[in-house]
Amino acid sequence: MSMDMSRYLGLFLSEASEHLEGLGRDLVQLEREGAPAVVDSMFRHAHSVKGMASSMGFESIAVLAHRVEDLVDAIRQDPSRLERTLVDLLLSATDVMMAQVRCVADNKPPEDASALLGQLAEKVSRLTGQAPTATRVLPRMASESPAPPPAAPAPPERVAASTATAQLSTAVAQAVKAQPSAPAEPKRAARWSVHLRIATSCQTPGVRAFLMHKRLVGLGSLHDLRPGLDDLKAGRIPGGSIQLELESAEVEEGIRKALRNVAEVELVSLTPVAPPPPTPAPTSSPALAQGEAARSVATGADGSRTVRVRTELLDHFLDTVGELLLATARLRELGKVLPEGSRPPIEEGVYRLHTLVKDLHDKVMSARMTPLSLITDRLPRAARDIARRKEREVDLVITGAEIELDRAILDELADPLLHLLRNCIDHGLEPAEERVAAGKPPRGKLQVSVRRVRDRVVLEMEDDGRGMNAARLKAAAVERGAISQEAAARMTDREAFMLSCLPGVSTAKDISEISGRGVGMDAVKRVVENVGGTLEIESELGRGSRFVLKLPLTVAVVQLLLVAVGEEVFGLPIAKVVGATEADGERLDRTRQVPLLPHGQGLLPVYALDELLGVAAPPRTGVRPFVVMEADTGRVALAVDRLVGQEEAVLKPLSRPLDLLPGLSGVTILGSGRPVFILDVPRLLSA
């Protein structure tokens, strides 16, 4: 019986990656806290990867996971065996397995891990006094399974393991193809009643059930399978309970062993039953019909079941709902020109339609919401690696990671967060001796906190390191020509800290391979602003620095301030608008021919938006509006012809060649049907 396992490859890749990330996370936590529960979690992760890889026929991953499992089990037996070098070895194994999973995704041969396998086997033998056991791996599908892998010049344990594995694979392959040609016991096999249960926490019950089914089919014949195979594959398993009868020549222990390797599937009972009656099982009619009915009811009542959905599909849903919102706004505008008498029913219908579309939009958005832990879970491992390379001691504390954010924002935020982490450890935290000399504890502290503030999420990363020097940042920016001496003199310390986000501006003595303010921070600021957020930096010399990311819940809908220049209307993201004021442009002070607008306690440089955009506009005299905005080098004032109003808009990305134009971040369509470009003012000024 041949099964197409390739259809489960995507699930294998995502699940294996999650388990390996969890394993790395647990290792770092175990090293820090030494909690026994973490060891159990690590064992489950390693066991799951081994089971999935062996079921899919990926021997190299399965064997590596098996060795990791052995080592974790040794730690579980005696926690005193845990030492830093062992954690390093296990983390290396985790990284190699992750790389092998990526090779599988790219349809490439896995990396050679024979040296690492040798180290793991030697460690297992030294800790337990026993040689590592063989790993049971199912053969690959006929089209992709040439033969056992070539013998690697590895330690004797490795050779023995490979040989045993190959023998087991052959045996299992023969069992899968089992035909009634067995010499000793032809078909006189025992019959077993098997009751299995899939863990309620299992996110892919269909895959688990299918793997279980595949294992059992390899042992013999299945009868009276409930739910049926199609339902199992589809994950329609009421209560996670599976019943069947297995006719097999395998002994009880052999059956238990075969099922033991399927993660998240528990063997509830395995009892022998009398041989089936001569009549070939007509049990399917009434009983099965009742079972089918009960199954459908149970399935319908279970509203908590979850499925995995590709993010591209959610993007498509959101795009479609955005179009519906725009169409509704267009209908509302068209209704305004209808005769007075016919408006009420039209307006009522449009209102009802808008309510439904808005509700649909909210539901699609909620489906895209993902906990921040998706990216913050990677930070402890990264912090450990960076700290070890820099020979620093760091305590990383993360709070509020359960808060949810649009998946699209999370995807963009992963790298910037790592940039900040590297910067905090590499440049922010001092070496232990320097900290002690400054009266600080030798271990640095890095706090990542997330909280929800109305319709935004605030993410803060704070270190207790040496802090940033505003005067040196100003001097570095002036030296590089990024700002003038006058502009530097007007800057507050808070504005000066933002200079670290300009390319090439840094006060670090040496730019390491780990980080480099001026490059990484520029990328951080750009990404945060691209998703509609803002970045703020607070710092105090000798006390540390705090990076504050204020993020929208979603990138699809943005609040805009609409301004007019000549006959054109443009949108400015409200998140970047500080305020608006009116002044006589002819009476403004000037320095080096740049007009300066009084604002607060200082003066802001003024830029005419029509000149920046090259839009034709009639000469303007007298009082006119100015919009004060945040830019890379501090606040600036934009001279516009008219403030049109504020609007919540569905953001549409630009396609080529418009996306190549500097200063445009997107486009939206107003209810009147008029398309409006959304401006990226910092980029517009730097173009």
User: What residue spans of 34-132 are helical by DSSP H?
Assistant: 36-56, 59-77, 84-105, 114-128
- Verify cis geometry, omega within 30 degrees of 0, for the bond prior to 227: yes
Tell me how crowded residue 17 is: count the other CB atoms within 10 A of its CB: 16
CB 518 within 8 Å of CB 502? yes
Task: From 403, 384, 508, select the one nearest 456 (Cα to Cα).
Answer: 403
Q: List CB contacts of 345: < 8 A, sequence separation 6 or more.
A: none
Identify the three-state secondary structure at position 664: strand
Q: Which of 405, 637, 632, 645 is nearest to 521 (CA)?
A: 632
Which residue is listed with tokens 């002819």? 586
Burial classification of residue 421, based on how many CB atoms lie within 10 Å of its CB (0-12 exposed, 13-18 middle, 19 or more buried): buried
Provide the H-helix boundaries in 302-378. 311-335, 343-368, 373-376
> 640 and 627 in contact (C-beta within 8 Å)?
yes
| Local structure of residue 219 (DSSP, 8 states) | T
Which DSSP string corresponds to 158-178? HHHHHHHHHHHHHHHHHHHT-
pLDDT digits (tens, 9 = 90+) for 50-91: 888 887 888 888 888 988 888 888 888 887 878 888 888 889
The whole-angstrom separation of Cα 486 and Cα 20 is: 53
User: Which residue has 């301004």 as its token pair?
Assistant: 563
Give SS3 for 451.
strand
The first and second tokens of residue 448, run together, are 């990542």
Residue in this structure with the two tokens 């069947």, named with its chain if needed: 244
3-state SS, residue 620: coil
Length of the chain: 687
Helices 9-33, 59-77: crossing angle, 10 deg rounding: 30
- In this prediction, residue 506 carries a pLDDT of 66
Q: Exposed/middle/buried for 561, CB within 10 Å: 0-12, 13-18, 19+?
A: buried
- Structure-token pair, residue 181: 């040609």
Query: At a CB cut-off of 8 Å and minimum separation 6, what does 114 contact?
Result: 152, 153, 154, 158
pLDDT of residue 274: 65
- Alpha-carbon Rg for the chain, nearest whole angstrom, is 32
CA distance 665 to 531: 10
Judged on CB neighbours under 10 Å (0-12, 13-18, 19+), 231 is buried
Distance between CA 86 and CA 90 in Å, rounded? Answer: 6
Helices (H) and strands (E) in the chain, counts: 22, 22
Question: What stretches in the chain show pLDDT beneath 70?
Answer: 1-7, 132-189, 203, 230, 233-234, 261, 274-306, 504-519, 556, 687
Helix boundaries (H) for 106-236: 114-128, 156-176, 205-217, 229-234
Question: Nearest Cα to 25, choosing from 508, 274, 377?
Answer: 377
Place of tokens 């690696």: 385
Q: What's the CA gap between 150 and 154, in Å, rounded?
A: 11
Q: How far is residue 480's CA from residue 240's CA, in Å, rounded to a whole number?
A: 65
Name the pTM for this structure. Answer: 0.61
Strands 602-608 and 594-599: antiparallel
pLDDT given at position 159: 38
Enter the tokens of residue 333. Answer: 């505008």
